[in-house]
Structure 1
Amino acid sequence: MQAPPIRIARIRLAQGQIFWREVGKGSTIIFLHGALTNGSQWLPILDQLGCRYHCIAPDLLGCGESESPPAAQSIHSQAECLADYIEALHLEDVYLVGHSMGAWIASHYAIAHPERIAGMILLAPEGVDLPDRHQRWAQELQLTSPMPLIPWGLKLIKPFSKLFNRHHRISQLLDYRHQLLACPTSCRLLFKRREAEIAQEMLNEKLGDLKTKILVLQGGQDHPMQILQSKTYTKLAPYAKLRMLKNGGWDLVEQWSEQVAREIEQFLVTTVTRR
């Protein structure tokens, strides 16, 4: 069965105007995108589930076509905006699907509002503190630095990089820098805040309070530290289950949309049956 046409809408909240895509009827699923993208990331999933479920994919505050608020942002403020958004649309008993940064925001919302959540599916969730966090984000900080010595250096040596078989890697880094600069809100939320702010919003000490059924989807070919992060999340959240997609990488939504859609639907069917 083919999904009906996708609708677009906007609503003004206290934090700013939110833009979203919406399709279908039935149980409501809200999809929260990852760091370097927007709600359009979920279009392949909406095409597959929109004929059976009410699917909503907003652009997070400051991303895509949603407004950037004048006040400083945090994961907590994004979760508060999500709460106001769900309240404004009069939604109850929703399922949250979050990828990366979106999973971090979804978790904060679920901890604060357990009565409004029917369940969560999280893909490669961010927000679990591991010893390598500063190391993982050091490259991003260097690539987006106001004094971008490393990007300048990469551009200078790129014409000679083929001599050293490094042309592909240098091109990847420069493309990644362009992606980062195009998503300033995500950069700030993940690694451009004071350490005390970021540490306060890490989930390690909070996941034990999650009383929601959670399915964590993780690509088996993703970075080892991301795999460890998903395993740690699952260990700390009492009702979380980890599902490893053996051949999947970091781009589960884009490259494994059919399998992700099946996992989401199976989770919803199982959750409804047991309630």
Structure 2
Amino acid sequence: MPAQPTIVFLHGFAESQAIWTDFLHKFPEGYQLLTLDLLGHGANTEAVPDYSMEAQAQYVADQLAEQNVGKVLLVGHSMGGYVALAFAERHHEKVAGLVLFHSTALPDTEEKQANRIKNMEFVRKNGVGKFMDSFIRPLFAPANRDKMQAQQELLENIGKATPDATVLGGLEAMRNRPDRTQVLRDATFPVLFIDGKDDAAVAVDSLLPQLALPAESHALLLGNVGHLGYFEAPERTRRAVVDFAASVAANAS
């Protein structure tokens, strides 16, 4: 069996590595898997002065170096994808493959930047708890919102446990992140795009032109799935990641 790169799973904004628990529980044996709590998230809540994608990527690089991890296949959900792209920009030689899991290399549009500012104002005025009460539910596809109450509650609880400084810093960092489509153009590694056709955060229409940028790209676009494919379609998205990882390992051998 070809040597497997370590698969590193990066969660999204106001999430934690706990989002991957069920997703990875049924992952086939033989893979080296690593999950991390990004700066300010999960159990990693010590305040830091910088929540930028670059700072998060450097944190990931430091953790990999500390654990003596070599080449990696990065799986980034939403903001985790932004971090993965920033990592690939700085540490291209360490990346064996990249999965943009409901994520994009494009910067925020002006409309989205304005929404980030509104959200920051809401958090300052009302707190993270109130923000999470309305933030999580629209991330699910309409067909899944009522039948996935347990998953919604889990994400709300994770979000409500995220410090105000992290939420505010993350919103600002996402608003300020640059266009990283050049990372896709320069990629010597394959890229897998996973998105939901009902994803209100990363619209499929905005993602399609990006599929043509890497030298090798793969895509899984799913109906009745919003922004949370690891909950909304776990078997299909897990299989896509597993098959992609096997392909990456075979090509690297």
Alignment-derived partner of residue 255 in structure 1: 232
Deviations 1:71-123 (A, max 9, x none): 23211011011111111111112111110000000111112112111101111
Structure 2: tracts of 5 or more residues without a match:
134-145, 147-152
CA distance in 1, matches of 2:88, 2:52: 16
> Does 1:48 pair with 2:26?
yes
Deviation at 1:227, TM superposition (A): 2.4
How big is the alpha-carbon RMSD for the aligned residues of Structure 1 and Structure 2? 3.2
TM-score by length of 1: 0.70
CA distance in 2, matches of 1:67, 1:78: 13
CA distance in 2, matches of 1:185, 1:38: 15
> Does 1:133 pair with 2:102?
no
Alignment-derived partner of residue 93 in structure 1: 71
Q: Within 5 Å, give how 1:117-266 maps onto structure 2.
A: 117-126=95-104, 128-129=106-107, 130-146=109-125, 182-183=161-162, 184=164, 186-192=166-172, 198-199=176-177, 201-223=178-200, 226-266=203-243
Report the number of matched residues: 226
Q: Within 5 Å, give how 1:15-26 maps onto structure 2.
A: none
Deviation at 1:181, TM superposition (A): 5.7
CA distance in 2, matches of 1:88, 1:138: 36
Larger % of strand: which? Answer: 1
Indicate how the Cα distance of structure 1 residues 52 and 146 shifts in structure 2: closer, same or farther if over 3 A, else same: same
Question: Which structure's relative contact order is higher, taking Cα pairs within 8 Å and 6+ residues apart?
Answer: 2
Deviation at 1:221, TM superposition (A): 1.5
Indicate how the Cα distance of structure 1 residues 268 and 46 shifts in structure 2: closer, same or farther if over 3 A, else same: same
Q: Which amino acid aligns with 1:133?
A: K
For residue 71 of structure 1, the aligned residue among 49, 53, 57 is 49
Structure number with greater Rg is 1
> Identity percentage over the alignment?
21
Residues 124-133 or 52-61, more deviating: 124-133
Deviation at 1:128, TM superposition (A): 1.5
Q: What secondary structure is seen at the aligned counterpart in 2 of 1:145?
A: helix
> Does 1:268 pair with 2:248?
no
TM-score by length of 2: 0.75
Asked if the contact 2:211–2:219 (Cα under 8 Å) also holds between the matched residues in 1, the reply is yes
